[in-house]
A and B are shown apart, each in its own frame.
Chain A
Amino acid sequence: MSTTTAVEAATPAASKAPAKRLSVATRLRRDWPLLLMCVPAMALLLVFHYLPALGNIIAFQDYNPYAGDGPWSAFLYSEWIGFGNFQYLFENPAFWDSVRNTLAITAFQLVFYFPIPIALAILLNSILSPRIRSLVQSVVYLPHFFSWVLVVSLFQMMLGGAGLIAQTARSGGFSVPDVMTDPDTFIFLITSEAVWKDAGWGMIVFLAALAAIDTSLYEAAAADGAGRWRRLWHITLPGLRPVIILLLILRLGDALNVGFEQFVLQREAVGRDAAEVLDTYVYYQGIKTQMWGVGAAAGLFKAVVGLLLIIGANKLAHRFGEQGIYSKS
């Protein structure tokens, strides 16, 4: 979804309102092949996003999957408890701990993770040899395809108490702190893991945006005597700005989503206080205890907060004259 919006944002002129409205029948006759092409994607969206969204009603139920005659009637026969699940959540300090952790991690990563793909893209863009460029690009985005289990094991083999670095240091008579089990530095650890795994992948969108910048602008600026930094500041960054703002807004909407596996895997190592995020809270307190309603309520809470953040950030972007997710008509 984000790629389509990115393309829309990149071509703002096309979406200006048409001069005259055509009748539905005319437009249908003209556009039917396009509509047909959309059908599979729409069906996918319907089946895997909109239909399951109806299941959110269990957030207001004491959902019992074994009530009624079948899985469907369980929805009808489970007891309605209004906002009982939400009350249970909001009165539970552990829930707020997990929200606080999630927001702290989002804020931290916004500063220390978000700019890295941009910097990486700009650096890579400055390499002229296409062979080296594609090699570096492949190497940095390959880790995206590794699972979290692999990434965490790799970090452990390098940085863990029995890892390469610790053992090498020991044989030299030194001791190094065990960063894998230190709750105080956990936020650095997970951010480094995330950077290692996903920064290369995140770079791709920015590379595409960089390619769209008119090279004649650079030539003109260079002819006028603009140095490397001036060109970066006055051409490259403004060229990237719509994409940066767009991704920033989408990231804000995802503020309560920081991942799951990474935290489940390292939770014991640093303790719940540092590693409990909303998704792990839902897993341990909703799914493992089979309080499905509570889990659904937490999910709904997350979605509503995300939506509000997206709308808010988009409004703000519009106020500053940016396009945001969609251009204002």
Chain B
Amino acid sequence: MGASTSRRHFLGLAALGAASLTFGCSKKPGSNETATTAEEASGVVPTFKDSTLVAPDIKGIRPVADGYAKYPTTLADAISEKAITSGKPVSVTTPWWGPAPPADNKLVAAVNADLGGTVNFSVQDGVTYGDKLNTMLGARDVPDLLCIPGWEINKLARFNDAVHVLFEELTPYLAGDKASAYPMLAGLDTKSWADSVWGGKLMAIPFPSDNPFPTMLFYRKDVADERGVAAPTTLDEVYQFGKKMTNEAKGEWAFGDIFLEVQQICGAGGSQNGWIKGADGKVIHRYETPEFARAVEFMARVYKEKLIHPDLASSNGADVKTLFKGGKIFMFSDGGGAWKEVWRPAVASDPKFNIQAVKAFGADAGKPPVRWGGTPSILWTFVKKGLGADRTAELLRVLNYTAAPFGTKEWELQNYGVEGTHFTRDSSGAPVTNDLYNKEFANQFIFTGGRPAVVVGGPDIPTYAADFVGWGNDATQYLEKNPWEGIKVEVPTEQAAIEQPTADKVTDIQRGRRPVSELTKVVQDWRDGGGEKAREYYAKVLADNGR
């Protein structure tokens, strides 16, 4: 920062009053969007070295991870030396969708002891995590290790600037064979590493996802079977399901919010932030398709006939999972992570409780759905910039530890805690967790860094792994091909700014506050308000990459 530059900026301040008093000559705000191809990534990602220890029982069709119905009887001790050697505490911020864990935490203390130091967690509410990130990044005040979910990155404007200002470049530590110093990190798959490259530099540790699907349609199989209601296989059957399962007098409604699922059932694509490359090569947005219109129309009907729980219709604060666990609703859509999250605590109080994902289906018999695809990793962990080579290496050793795969003692300790304190073993040797575990476990070390993805249930939910992988293997055939795959596209400010007003209007139509016929006008407003500009941008990104 030279003196002349400073002075120029100071002069800019002084000239402000004089120069730009008129509106006419002023520039409008907004960031300059960039897109980074992953082609240049090949040189900076670690060389893959398989770290899998246990052969899977249930093979997943990639990108669906493998499942394990049986827990391994012998566990490997993957890392013998202590990761933390400086004695300095490590600060980590992670999200969690549940009650905050206690600060005095035996599970964290046990892992810390194994790491040889102290990891201090700041566990933040996952629902409002984006707001925290916004201010944290804006103030340039980040912890040693910061977990950022992929869907939040999409919403963070200027993240391509932020990433280089705030976080350490990991290329010098991990590129190619250098990763052999961190064997567990070298076991993460190459696609998810390539997805962790910003501006040609390796910037983060990926968290490989166990499935590529942003949402699944869950239902209460036990209740539906008991009442003789079959899982839907067409859009009309979804409606029939709603009719049969709703009983207002008993305080029961069929649905939580199912809009995202209905869009996919109707066949509205747009994995890349809503964008699709049409058959004619033209770039269009999901909003502009008849499939989307059909989905909106269907939702308007569902709301009108009051098939969605009124609490969910009347407040942002209502908790869909609590209603589902409590038997107040019977079908909702959520990410794959919700499956286990709901099932485990629910089956503890009601052994018959059975949550299943509805087998993927299209709106009409014989018409396939479009399943949106996600990125190879769902979260990233970033290392704070400027901590020095020694400290960075130490933090990478911590991340190497958290990357220990299924079948290691490290994996068990991070996932289940201490035997006798947090869990006991059943006859097959599988961990059975207790109340202390439920209180203390908040995915702390799981979200600190990624590990090879596996699908693992437990004795309480013995069919989970097979159910999950089975559903994913079937749904993979409908996975949308994303032409932008592998390119890091920053969402243009114009599109980001018009997104909320448009979503609000679409919600209005669903709730019956605007007529369905107004959708065409809403979409036109969206085009004029920034959608058209965003289209040009997304088309240009494709052209620039020769796709």
Contact = CB atoms under 8 A, between A and B. Distances in A.
Interface stretch (B19-27, B168-176, B416-424): B19-27
Contacts of B21: 82-83
B329 to A, nearest CB: 10
A7 B251 CA distance: 53
Interface in A300-329: none
A289 B157 contact: yes
Contacts of B19: 82
Contacts of B30: 62, 291
Interface in A13-45: none
A2 to B, nearest CB: 29
B484 to A, nearest CB: 21
| Dominant SS among interface residues on chain A | helix
B313 A161 contact: yes
B139 A87 contact: no
A167 B433 CA distance: 38
B296 to A, nearest CB: 15
The number of chain B residues touching the other chain, given as a range, is 35 or more
A141 interface: no
B258 to A, nearest CB: 15
A70 B140 contact: yes
A242 interface: no
B313 A181 contact: yes
A265 B316 contact: yes
Contact of A181 (B249, B310, B328, B500): B310
Contact of B505 (A70, A85, A170, A272): A272
Contact of A65 (B16, B140, B311): B140
Contacts of A71: 139-141
A244 B165 CA distance: 53
Contacts of A70: 140
Interface stretch (B5-13, B96-104, B355-363): B5-13
A273 B493 CA distance: 23
A285 B313 contact: no
B313 to A, nearest CB: 6
Contacts of B10: 76
Nearest to A159: B314
B511 interface: yes
Interface string A69-87: 1110100110111111111
B501 interface: yes
B139 to A, nearest CB: 6
Given A66-B158, A71-B139, A288-B500, A156 B26 contact: no
A152 B507 contact: no
B137 interface: yes
Contacts of B31: 64, 290
Contacts of A149: 317
B315 A269 contact: yes
A116 to B, nearest CB: 25
B426 interface: no
A162 B311 contact: yes
B310 A66 contact: no
Nearest to A82: B20
B156 interface: yes
A9 interface: no
Contacts of A82: 16, 19-21, 25-27
B505 A167 contact: no
B316 A268 contact: yes
Contacts of B138: 65, 290, 292
A271 B317 contact: no
A206 interface: no
A287 interface: yes
A64 B158 contact: yes
Given A149-B317, A156-B311, A267-B316, A83 B26 contact: yes
Interface in B485-508: 493, 496-497, 500-501, 504-505, 507-508
Contacts of B166: 66
B314 A269 contact: yes
A264 interface: yes
B134 interface: yes
B397 interface: no
A178 B309 CA distance: 12
A65 B139 contact: yes
Contacts of B130: 288
B537 to A, nearest CB: 16
Interface in B359-401: none
B260 to A, nearest CB: 15
14 contacts: A65-B140, A65-B158, A65-B162, A76-B9, A77-B9, A79-B27, A80-B20, A85-B28, A160-B310, A162-B253, A162-B310, A271-B511, A272-B501, A273-B513
**Lowest 9 A-B CB distances belong to which pairs?**
A161-B310, A82-B20, A272-B504, A290-B157, A82-B26, A180-B314, A84-B26, A66-B161, A269-B314
Given A152-B315, A152-B317, A181-B314, 13 more contacts: A57-B13, A60-B16, A60-B20, A65-B139, A81-B20, A81-B26, A153-B315, A161-B313, A180-B315, A272-B508, A288-B155, A290-B31, A291-B157
Interface of B: 1, 6, 9-10, 12-13, 16, 19-23, 25-31, 130-131, 134, 137-141, 155-158, 161-162, 165-166, 248-249, 251, 253, 306, 309-311, 313-318, 328, 493, 496-497, 500-501, 504-505, 507-508, 511, 513
